[in-house]
Amino acid sequence: MEPLHGRIRDYAWGSRTVLAQLQGRPVPSAGPEAELWLGAHPGDPSTVHRGGAPLSVVDAFATDPGRWLGADVIDRFGQRLPFLLKVLAPEAPLSLQAHPDAEQARAGYAAEVTDPELTHRNYVDPYHKPELLVAVSPFQALCGFRDPKLSADLIDAFGVPALDPVVDALRAGTDGLREAVRTLLGWPVPDRAALVAAVVAADVPEQYAQAGELVRELAGRYPADPGVLVALLLNHVSLAPGEAIWMPAGNLHAYLYGAGVEILAASDNVLRGGLTPKHVDVPELLRVLRFEVLVDPVVPPVPVAPGVVTWPVPVDDFALHGVRLGEAVGSARIALRGPRIALCLAGEVTVADGAGSARLGPGQSAIGPADGGPLTVSGSGEVYVASVGLG
């Protein structure tokens, strides 16, 4: 293991406190700080030090891919790190979005990369983008479609006659879910602000007060965006620290606020449906979405050793372990295959494998190569370890 230096993305929805506090910098930061990226994504790769100067890990991997990535990873994913580790710090809602599955990503990228007249690309790489987010503070999110009949009752409670066709479609269950979403996202542009305003002004029953608050919050930021109403079709999830949400391909979602550690397949393929000034491609989004109920998106932590938990997911691009050390447990050993990244969130720890060791404080991270063998974490603190999910 050796020190790794990540990159901060300054999207407008980011917090001015979370990442600055984590890294021990002055609070508030000069501007919004949304994400800390740790990995080899070509959009903003992390760095290691060589000869006193920073070196992109992309370049480091290129010098010795066999050692860094390992034969198993290269055979399965090619000469690239298949995961990206992030700290997410939303202080305002992210866009409503979904990600393609692997087949859709390959086909979409192949079609767009050969189109010389294309003005906007939905597919910037040929990879899927499943995501796992673990809350490190109370975290709010919209995750996947809930039972459409429950959504019908909710929207009907707002008492806006213009939405009767949406309610009728939702009463048909999942068979009508596509039509309900298509109707809302295809609402005539001149009429959108009035529709949202009518919903905001509605006096809803007490049982739907939380939904009314959500509509008012979203509409305050996007007063003419039908995505405000599409949000009512999704599960509204409140995560406690340590709980996670799993977002497979095709599930519409939006993170609202909180702080979390996210691990995802290293891709930038995003289809947006609203709550954003960015490009929205409704036909392509509808093609990618899975119009099915996501019964429970919450993934609880599973203990695997004293002080160590994981959150099982059905992909091999990544795996995530959480480690908590203190008086009761002073060290932990994790069997890993392939490259690995460790991020310290609290305390002081040492991470060591066969390639070396690094001492980490809050906000600091380290990377190790595929030939490092098992990882040992010692000290007192909280650490997240990202690796591939190959068994």
Active site residues: 272
Three-state SS at 108: helix
Picking from 42, 34, 41, the residue whose alpha carbon sits closest to that of residue 17 is: 34
8 A C-beta contact, residue 52 and residue 39: no
Picking from 252, 258, 244, the residue whose alpha carbon sits closest to that of residue 318 is: 244
Picking from 246, 289, 49, 21, the residue whose alpha carbon sits closest to that of residue 137 is: 21
Separation in Å, CA 305 to CA 33, 309, 323, 324: 34, 7, 9, 11
Tokens of 268: 């930038």
Strand partners, 381: 325, 347
Helix axes 164-171, 148-157, angle to 10 degrees: 150
The set of residues, in sequence order, having a beta carbon less than 8 Å from that of 189 and lying 6+ positions away, is: 224
8 A C-beta contact, residue 377 and residue 1: no
Picking from 27, 25, 28, 31, the residue whose alpha carbon sits closest to that of residue 9 is: 31
Quote the CA–CA distance of 324 and 384 in Å, as a whole number: 9
Question: Using CB atoms within 10 A of its CB, is residue 143 exposed (0-12), middle (13-18) or buried (19+)?
Answer: buried
**Beta strand 83-88 pairing with 260-265:** antiparallel
Quote the CA–CA distance of 16 and 90 in Å, as a whole number: 10
Picking from 113, 144, 108, 111, the residue whose alpha carbon sits closest to that of residue 128 is: 108
Quote the CA–CA distance of 151 and 291 in Å, as a whole number: 14
> Residue 235's Cα: distance from chain center in Å?
16
